[in-house]
Amino acid sequence: MTNRRPPLESMERHNPVPPNVEFVPREGGLQQILAHDHDRADGSRRGTPRHRIAVAAAAAVVLVAGVAAAGALIVDSPRETTQSEPPSATFTLPPLDPGQAVFPPSAGSVPMLHFVAYSRPVSSADLLRHIAAQAERQPPAPGSGAYEYVKSRNWFLSSARTTDGTILDQGWTAEIEREQWRDETGAGRLDSLEDGVQQSLILHPDVFPRPRLDADTRSVSELRSRLLAAGSGRTAQQWFDEYKDTWTSQIVSAELQAAYLGVLADQPGIDVLGAVTDRAGRAGIAVATQAGDRKTVLIFDEATGALLGYEEIATGVGATEFPVPLPSTVSYISWIAEGYVPSVGDRI
């Protein structure tokens, strides 16, 4: 079942900026930040891949989408984090540049997050390695039991099509709340709630296999080696999507999180967008990569290394199958809770 509320009305409910606050965007500021491709401390620039990459749909949720795949919003910290842990002494972010703040209008386009650039270029490699060190210090996910429990919320702009690709309807939004329980074999259940209708899918290991790189090790260096072996030849965009899919399908251990971030730190074509307040009103740091007419954004908590958000932004007409204001956020995903529980149906 689909939710046909206008996209603006649906998205405005998740806009972190109060509706009565008026901001005046700097002319050309949003385009400058979204087009920003310098991530080296010396200010040099590097090219960005310009090929199209298909967006992966959320696991076990079959939907016909004009802009596929769910993106993300964090409603609460998925796990307990170490308190009062100072950032790494070898990495310090420069001051923000208020002149680079971009506040899109509250009407006429899908509300976007507001990225604020730093006063000088920040190396994405240095930032991601710093966040990886923070992530590695975090405690395990809460709870105990045989099942991993992951709850997420997904939103995306979509269209309805016939089997031959003819578009029947466009511009409606889909909001899906997912709860997943899986044991170490991959068996479990996936519940999805869309527009008040709940569906359940029994997960069988032979149908929905669950390969886990961290099943038998907590060595960050070993996990990094396994990631690189499995992902040889991936682009930055493909690493972003694989990373997002891992967070959606399992509890990501502190060591696996650190390994992923270490791999991302070595990828070309990743830029630091700046500071941002995510859709739950939490402070974060955003990095992005561009593929064709689509920019994909990851938002992190600098202090804990936690992934706070995954967003997809259409920056050109080729990003969607129907017209949207440019640039526009077209999808996000939210990890609400995660932890270990004794049985299917239990929650954290």
Q: What is the mean pLDDT of each run of 10 residues along the chain (348 residues)?
A: 46 48 46 46 38 34 35 38 48 84 45 88 96 96 96 79 66 81 94 92 87 89 96 96 93 96 98 89 92 94 90 87 81 87 96
> How many CB atoms sit inside 10 A of residue 323's CB?
11
DSSP 61: -
Q: Where are the domains of the chain?
A: 7-59+70-150+212-341
Q: Residue for token digits 């990890």?
A: 335
Spell out the residues 6+ positions from residue 192 whose beta carbon is closer than 8 angstroms to its own.
Answer: 61, 176, 177, 178, 179, 198, 199, 200, 201
* Closest CA relative to residue 320, chosen from 29, 133, 68: 68
Convert the pLDDT of each residue in 62-116 to its tens digit: 333 333 333 333 333 344 444 434 444 578 889 988 777 544 543 334 578 889 9
* Closest CA relative to residue 294, chosen from 344, 331, 334: 331
Strands 307-314 and 72-73 turn out to be antiparallel
Q: In one letter, which amino acid is 169?
A: D
Q: Which two tokens stand for residue 185?
A: 């074999």
Convert the pLDDT of each residue in 132-158 to its tens digit: 999 999 999 999 999 999 998 888 876
**H helix intervals, the chain:** 7-12, 29-34, 124-136, 220-230, 236-249, 254-265
Answer for the pair 30, 102: CB distance below 8 angstroms, yes or no.
yes
**H or E stretch including 193?**
strand 188-194
| Cα–Cα dist 54/7, whole Å | 22
Query: What is the model's pLDDT at position 134?
Result: 96
| Cα–Cα dist 250/340, whole Å | 11
Answer for the pair 284, 131: CB distance below 8 angstroms, yes or no.
no
Q: State the DSSP string of 69-112.
A: S-BEE-SS-SS---TTPPPPTT--PPPB-GGG-----SSSS---
24 to 27, 99, 105, 112, 322: CA distances (angstroms): 9, 11, 8, 14, 28
33 to 136, 218, 248, 292: CA distances (angstroms): 30, 37, 28, 17
